[in-house]
Amino acid sequence: MRADLHVHTTASDGTESPEQVVALASAMGLGCLAIADHDTLEGIGPAVQEGRRRKLEVLPAIELGTEHRGQEIHMLGYLVDLSSRQLLSELAYFRRTRLERVTGMVNRLNGLGFPIVRERVLEIAGGGSVGRPHIARALVETGRVGSVEEAFELYIGDGRPGFVPRYKYSPAKAVRLIRSAGGVPVLAHPGLAPADELIPALIPEGLQGIEVYHPSHTPQVSDYYLSLCRRLRLLATGGSDYHGAANKKHNCLGAYTVSGRVVDEIKHLAGKNRG
């Protein structure tokens, strides 16, 4: 059984619904998917339901964006309790700050002469966790920006004139929030923003794994993090970071997977965390 443990849906910035992603995974013969949307659990319910119909296991997960010394560090949380009060209240806070930040970015972009409106950005986000990819699509719709990539490069990438930072946790705080909800914290794609000094420091906070297999990792990078996992006794996970076939980030669903043994380990750790 192969499991893809990092998948996004329209609940955040993926372009396919939870049902569509599960149907695709099932058609590909995958046995398990973790739905890990940015700052939201909304995609999980529909994915689990579709998974039941298709005999595909869906693991609830989340991906939290954090910041460490100016670098963006992502933290995955597997098998978080979907009814955790603390987690739900923090996610509601993230959603509010994301909405305020859209207002700020739209104002800046209006100031730069782009006729985009906040309502359209929210419509593109479809009620999900709203972020820069949705603003980028609204910019492309005006016909004055050629592509989502160009939007990031010129206007909304970090430090560009339309950019407004969003509220972010520290990695340690994200680890603690995930553990407070009984979940298994896993450092996402460390090859994208190397902060290796952070890893030993996060273990006492409750870090339990590293995402070793990811499209941004060369085989050498994966080997390096695999040996680090062995040395530090952390779980090695992996996933495709799929954002939909229509997304500019054209990661392929199922291109990075792990075995059922890793899924069992995650369940075992989550059981211990709650025990």
Q: Which residues bind ligand AMP (CB under 6 A)?
A: 13, 38, 65, 131-133, 148-149, 152, 157, 166, 248
Which pairing describes strands 32-35 and 2-7: parallel, antiparallel, or unpaired?
Answer: parallel
Q: How far apart are CA 130 and CA 171, in angstroms?
A: 21
For residues 68 and 74, which CB has a smaller minimum distance to Fe ion in the complex?
Answer: 74
Q: Are 7 and 35 a contacting pair, CB within 8 Å? A: yes
Q: Is 172 helix (H, G, I), strand (E, B) or coil?
A: helix
Q: Does 13 bind Zn ion (CB under 5 A)?
A: yes
Q: How far is the CB of 149 from ligand AMP (least distance, A)?
A: 5
Rank residues 65 and 182 by Cβ distance to Zn ion and give the closer one.
65
Q: What would the two tokens of residue 94 be?
A: 């993230």
Comparing CB distances to ligand AMP, the nearer of 115 and 165 is 165
Q: Which backbone phi and psi does 38 adopt, to 5 degrees? A: -70, 120
Using Cβ positions, the residue closest to Zn ion within the complex turns out to be 13
Question: Which of residues 132 and 214 has its CB atom nearest to ligand AMP in the complex?
Answer: 132
Query: Which of Zn ion, ligand AMP, Fe ion, none lies near 166, with the C-beta cut-off 5 to 8 A by kind?
Result: ligand AMP
Q: Which of residues 64-83 bind Fe ion (CB under 5 A)?
A: 74
The torsion angle over the Cα atoms of residues 189, 191, 197 and 202, rounded to 10 degrees, is 10
Q: CA-CA distances (angstroms) from residue 180 to 82, 88, 136, 177, 253?
A: 12, 11, 34, 5, 30
When CB distances to ligand AMP are compared, the closest residue is 131
241 binds, among Fe ion, Zn ion, ligand AMP, none (CB under 5 to 8 A by kind): Fe ion
